[in-house]
A and B are shown apart, each in its own frame.
Chain A
């Protein structure tokens, strides 16, 4: 009989309660969902036993939405309503997508992020991505036989704040509880490292369909520490297809511009590229829109020659990542190749030559990211087993800063800082009696604000009248474990500090997401209120059971009055939970969360005291 229940913080109090959790690789060309079943990670296939889901969404004339292979097959006949590689548009503006070259879409310049005009109406890349995620969620729930507790969704390590936020919004829209956004190369390192019990310093070279990441990681005794990351969020296998198509257009004197032909050529280029991995020559027949029949052909040597510059382009961020990690290419213990595009022989050769060693490729480069995400999801959901006692320390890829006088960027948090991270910077007024201050948050490495990405603009108002230079305005940046930023500003000289918290809204505002959610539910004929009620009840139950467990273990941290206060709030939530008003439940949850904060802080102090026993700074001193 167990008298005492001893469990690690964050661990599920009931060891038999297995929560369904998945890892999702939301890729440019295809996506996957994986989970941990009886201790090992595996990809969940569709009914036809296919692991990959092409990241292609088609809006059909009958208002249906098609995702995957059928949509991909239709891209040439219905290019404007078939969205391919939508990941490249996440969190991007019109000017960004113009750089991708001719695309068969009608872009709409929506505030913040582009949208695409389809026959189903104007669709944000967030909504398009949510369609892909929804299919994967449904696939997982069917296979696992229940509703998901949560998901880890992967993003390229080099994604900036707006791209990350857009991804998280898409997951919410698809009805997923996002346990964590996880960087793709880090996910690969988890799958690889845990599989091989590796120790040392490794590079993860991840060339996907549309993004390139390079991460340098140190693996020691169960800790995955990302030392640096670099990349290019607009470089991937797609660019190799474009190069081939451009070559054919020039060689055959084709008129560029027809949307369908563009799609046909790109699809043909992709097929030829994949065949050239094994064959010296590849060719196929294509019929263009005006009946023109072409035999498109390419040799491996020509392909390698015409894309040599793209291969070289991947080595620039690779050098920078090594430099930030203060390491030499030859000093690493291994290189891991991730992403379908790393199958190209000339790319492989270039990477192996650069690092002076053969790369690891024993795990399927298409699956390794989803597998790593599944392992992380399983641990985050609280299904931790003793062997899973590992920790992940990741970084932000790009510096965060503020605009200062003259359009210059003042760096607040440098790139490759370990997250979560917070940093405060103080500014002052430059005019007598200045009552407001404009704050412009940017991300990037360039000196000029105009060359960096603008994340948010807001105004701090109500600064009390003072002479120029007397006000002390403190701007605090906090980046959470998902790599997402929030900004607070306050005036510090007077007691009446005004404070504002900003979630950079380059992506979508909360209102926009809420209205999209609403639209989605009415479309599916679901009762929004019923769904909200069910969600709030689950949330309430999970909060109550966590708190009951915490009280069982650590009630000595509270005095009788504090304990009574907390229990009163818990009873209030229990009774709200029995009702049918989801708003009342939400209010009771929020109130209980606030009330339990001091208790949470004390429990953490206790956990830390255990960890730090005999670890005072004096003692690490020599």
Chain B
């Protein structure tokens, strides 16, 4: 609520002042206190080693060895200062911008890492941690983009899970038969799009509840791929399911940047496609005729129809295209990671992609960061499990799900889905 004037019954306008938004300062303060007490004051003795270099670096950066307790103390004091700043800004009713939570999050994670690495003598491989985070995020990002296009057009797509799995399956099989990973890359979108065809067929033609079809399609794809895996693929794995890996294509110069360069620009083509898809969607959803029509159809189909937009055609076309994107994401499980197809290898990632989309408020950029958050926390869980820390791995892995629930419940900011999603459009 911004400041505005209201007419009181007496007729004299009174100025209404927006209440102070205490939510974020409280969250920051609590987190800063946790960091100060646990990572700083109580702390753990010993040193924490941050390993930045990886094996094939051009020039090796030495490991960063710091005292766990001192680092924790310094970083948590920074957090306390930041929390104080947020309180000051809140009382002035000022906005802090989006860099503030990001910085706060990074410092908090670093202070946590300094604490977690101490004592155990473990080495925290920063580059591996970040590379793992990106790798775990790739299918999520593709899936979230798919869900976003569907829902912006008014079709709820719960079948992302099935589309990822179908994409992974077909990519593995085609790549294996043709003996070329890039062939798998071409096949994966077809699989995802096929699932979307069934989805839209039932949703648009027969008006079946879209969540129901989505759930059932997921089961169907699991059943089909499991069945084919157990019969055809296992009978002759050399032909049908041999491993094919997309080669890494390092981008000159950019990939030589320490840490981030290695993580972001020494990847296979699928990851570069992902960058393009996200950037393109961020532009096209909000600044193109296609995007405007898509949002119109998803928000107010009747109005869109009135001005001559073919509502159902737009929905079907967009959802099928989105399915192709999700199929590409599925290819990352197999040809993207150099693995053979395995039963149910999407392992619920499609549902997480759905959550990332909602957490990102149906924006490509937001969904990207939400998916990265999921990927990072999972990668963090894996890393900490391997070095052994006092925090149970499972509790860490739960974190993104809890964050999503809090987000959906409105604690992180209210989310509003497209108004007409899930409602079949019937011309009357």
Q: Do A and B bind each other?
A: no
Residues of A within 8 A of B (CB): none
